[in-house]
A and B are shown apart, each in its own frame.
Chain A
Amino acid sequence: SQQGEEDPQALSIQEGENATMNCSYKTSINNLQWYRQNSGRGLVHLILIRSNEREKHSGRLRVTLDTSKKSSSLLITASRAADTASYFCATDANNAGNMLTFGGGTRLMVKP
């Protein structure tokens, strides 16, 4: 079964709005990563947050991690049409040999 589960499965917003995607996981982790996938392409790494960190920023991206709730969120501010993609969280669980397992993803559509 998948370690991470994203919510919502699909999200449609207008350009300029903020997009928030959530990820929940089941077991304790070392770190959590977010990836983006454009249609027909491979995944691209966006940001990594370690288990001892609570928040991280990269450009228009803001990631939070709540290990007590086993959840993370990815916020994209001032969205652009080019942000349209699927977004995945990935975790390396302590009991999984540090291998990355991916959630099912959130499909984000940003309308111009």
Chain B
Amino acid sequence: DAGVIQSPRHEVTEMGQEVTLRCKPISGHNSLFWYRQTMMRGLELLIYFNNNVPIDDSGMPEDRFSAKMPNASFSTLKIQPSEPRDSAVYFCASSLEVVSPLHFGNGTRLTVT
């Protein structure tokens, strides 16, 4: 199994640009999570999906952030417009159920200048 696959691994963009992060969960997993990691705030849960349906998006910072899961094998996290304070490592993780060990991708390091 290839594990959770995230792309791109690195993204550098200018303030105001749209950014789209992508995630392919492990086949058969029905829960998908987006986390953001920074030195200041640690790991923050942004949103999670169960069976492709968004269950809790209370961690999404503001309306500039949106996430979709059009099918069981793909999810996107979009930031529009991006700001320098969005710079962080964004992780996608999947699990068999909501309450079971998470399998993380290797993250996307986003830098907004």
A residues lining the B interface (CB < 8 Å):
2, 30-31, 33, 35, 40-45, 48, 88, 90, 92, 97-105
Number of residue pairs spanning A and B whose beta carbons lie under 8 angstroms apart: 47
How distant is the Cα of A102 from the Cα of B101 in the complex, in angstroms? Answer: 13
Interface size on B, residues (CB 8 A): 20
Residue contact A43 to B104, C-beta cutoff 8 Å: yes
Chain B residues in the interface with A (C-beta under 8 A) = 4, 33, 35, 42-43, 45, 48, 55-56, 91, 93, 98-99, 101-107
Given contacts A97-B55, A99-B48, A102-B42, contact A42 B105 (CB under 8 A): yes
- 6 tightest Cβ-Cβ pairs between the two chains A and B: A42-B104, A45-B101, A102-B43, A43-B104, A104-B42, A98-B99
Chain A contact residues, majority secondary structure: strand
- With A2-B42, A105-B42 known to touch, is A99 a contact of B105 (CB < 8 Å)? no
- By secondary structure, the B interface counts as strand
**A43→B107 CA distance, assembly (Å):** 10
Provide the bound-state CA to CA distance between A90 and B33, in Å: 14
Determine whether the beta carbon of B42 is less than 8 Å from that of A100.
no
Compute how far the CA of A2 lies from the CA of B38 in the bound complex, rounded to whole angstroms. 13
B99 lies within 8 A of A45 (CB): no
Given A92-B99, A99-B56, A99-B98, is A42 in contact with B91 using a C-beta cutoff of 8 Å?
A: yes
Taking a contact as CB atoms under 8 Å apart, the answer to whether A88 and B104 are in contact is no
The distance in angstroms between the C-alpha atoms of A99 and B33, with both chains bound, is 10
Do A45 and B102 touch (CB < 8 A)?
A: yes
Q: In the assembled complex, which residues on chain A have CB atoms less than 8 Å from the CB atom of B45?
A: 99-101
Q: How far is the CA of A44 from the CA of B104 in the complex (A)?
A: 7
Contact between A98 and B98 (Cβ–Cβ < 8 Å)? yes
Cβ–Cβ < 8 Å partners of A2 in chain B: 42
A42 CA / B43 CA spacing, docked (Å): 11
B107 touches A48 (CB 8 A): no
> Using Cβ atoms and an 8 Å threshold, which residues of chain B touch A48?
101
Q: A88-B43, A102-B42 are in contact. Are A41 and B106 (CB under 8 A)?
A: yes
In the complex, what residues of B have CB within 8 A of residue A31's CB? 99
